[in-house]
Amino acid sequence: MKKIIASLIVGLLVLTGCGGSDDSAGADDKLEKITVAASATPHAEILEEVKEDLKEAGYELEVKVFDDYILPNTVVDDGEIDANFFQHEPYLISFNEDNGTDLVAVANIHIEPLGIYAKDNEKTNSDFSVADVKEGAVITIPNDPSNEYRALLLLQEKGIIKIKDSNNLKSTVVDIVENPKNVEIKEVEAAGIPATLPDVDYAVINGNYALTNKVEDKLIVAETKDSKGALKYANILAVKKGNEDSAKTKALIKALHTEKVKTFIEETFGDLVIPAFD
């Protein structure tokens, strides 16, 4: 009889324990999923930092990493994914016009400053100017419209060149009207510019590509948060039009616009990624 009672007690304890586990699993099951398409660095890293905050708000954040600049927009426009975080607004506007998508920016998150890098550089120099550039120096810059414009503005700020219209977002090398050191500017696909560094005098590189190619120690000078080019090109959180005020969108913005995220960006990426919110 004692053995039977003992067995019953053990059985009840096991069932009780199972019930507790089911409750815990059930709590996780009740979390609403938010999916975000993102580039690996720094976007996905920043999103990873807010997973627990979103969990406390009732959401499970799933980050899907993409290595191109097309699919992250199409999957959001198709409704497969809730939001994306990889681009700046001028690119988004251009993408919408070219592809018939209907996406909107809902929050500025960070700026990835363009910087001037040199293969033999050993320290940053905020005073870098045309006086430091040799005659006929070779400089590689991004060839996509938005980043080429930014690169030209940065070179102009340093007195290396002058372009016809500083407000023309479609400015290219053909719009250079002054070139006192007769520098040769070569247009290269943005992701490939770090690889050109050993063969040129200077390269204008996006902050994210400097990080992924580990050339950040070659930085001479970069855009600041107040630079004309940088202000226009903050990296954004984007959603399909109509979802700007959804609960998911509001939760994402709230989680990303925090002092915690600001500190994470500053401590993790230094001058190569700058928070774009106060």
More confident residue, 119 or 62: 62
**Nearest-CA neighbor of 66 among 85, 47, 49?**
85
Taking 50 as the threshold, does the pLDDT of residue 24 lie above it?
A: no
- State the pLDDT confidence band at 2, using cuts at 50, 70 and 90: very low
DSSP 40-77: IIIIIHHHHTTHHHHHHTTEEEEEEE-SSSSHHHHHHH
Residue 32: DSSP 8-state: E
Query: Sorting pLDDT into bands at 50, 70 and 90, what band is 139?
Result: very high
Q: Tell me the mean pLDDT in the region 99-120.
A: 95
Q: Helix 145-157 and helix 89-99: axis angle, to 10°?
A: 150
Query: May I ask the CATH architecture of the domain 115-231?
Result: 3-Layer(aba) Sandwich (3.40)
Average of per-residue pLDDT values in the chain: 89
> Which residues, in sequence order, are bridge partners of residue 24?
none
Supply the pLDDT for residue 227: 79
Are 139 and 196 spatial neighbours (Cβ–Cβ below 8 Å)?
no
d(CA 85, CA 135): 41
Token duo for residue 100: 């018939």
- Statement: residue 178 has pLDDT above 50: yes
Between 23-37, 119-133, 154-168, 187-201, the lowest mean confidence (pLDDT) is in: 23-37
How far does the chain reach from its first CA to its final CA, in angstroms?
Answer: 71
Kindly report the length of the chain.
Answer: 278
pLDDT per residue as tens digits for the range 51-102: 999 999 999 999 999 989 899 999 999 999 999 999 999 899 989 999 999 9
d(C-alpha 215, C-alpha 122), whole Å:
11
Q: Supply the pLDDT for residue 146.
A: 79
Rounded CA gap, 18 and 10, in Å? 12
* Pair 215, 194: CB distance under 8 Å: yes
Contact present, 102 and 241 (Cβ < 8 Å): yes
| Rounded average pLDDT over 20-34 | 67
Report pLDDT for 5: 42
**Which amino acid appears at position 121 of this protein?**
N
Contact 148, 210 (CB under 8 A): no
The percentage of residues in the chain with a pLDDT greater than 70, rounded to a whole number, is: 89
What sign results for the dihedral spanned by CA atoms 208, 211, 214, 216?
positive
* pLDDT band, very low/low/confident/very high, at 233 (cuts 50, 70, 90): confident
What SS3 class is residue 3?
Answer: helix
Closest listed residue to residue 87, CA positions, set 146, 34, 45: 146
Q: pLDDT at residue 212 above 50? A: yes
* Strand, helix or coil for residue 261: helix
**Separation in Å, CA 43 to CA 87, 267, 275:** 10, 15, 12
Would you state the pLDDT for residue 1?
Answer: 44
The confidence score (pLDDT) of residue 16 equals: 40
Q: For position 21, what pLDDT does the model report?
A: 45
Tell me, yes or no, if the two domains 31-112+234-275 and 115-231 fold the same way. Answer: yes
Q: What is the dihedral of CA 34, 37, 38, 39, to 10 degrees?
A: 150
CATH architecture of 31-112+234-275: 3-Layer(aba) Sandwich (3.40)
Q: Where are the domains of the chain?
A: 31-112+234-275, 115-231
246 falls in which pLDDT band (50, 70, 90)?
A: very high
Task: Decide if pLDDT at 39 tops 60.
Answer: yes
Give the least confident one: 15-29, 107-121, 134-148, 175-189.
Answer: 15-29
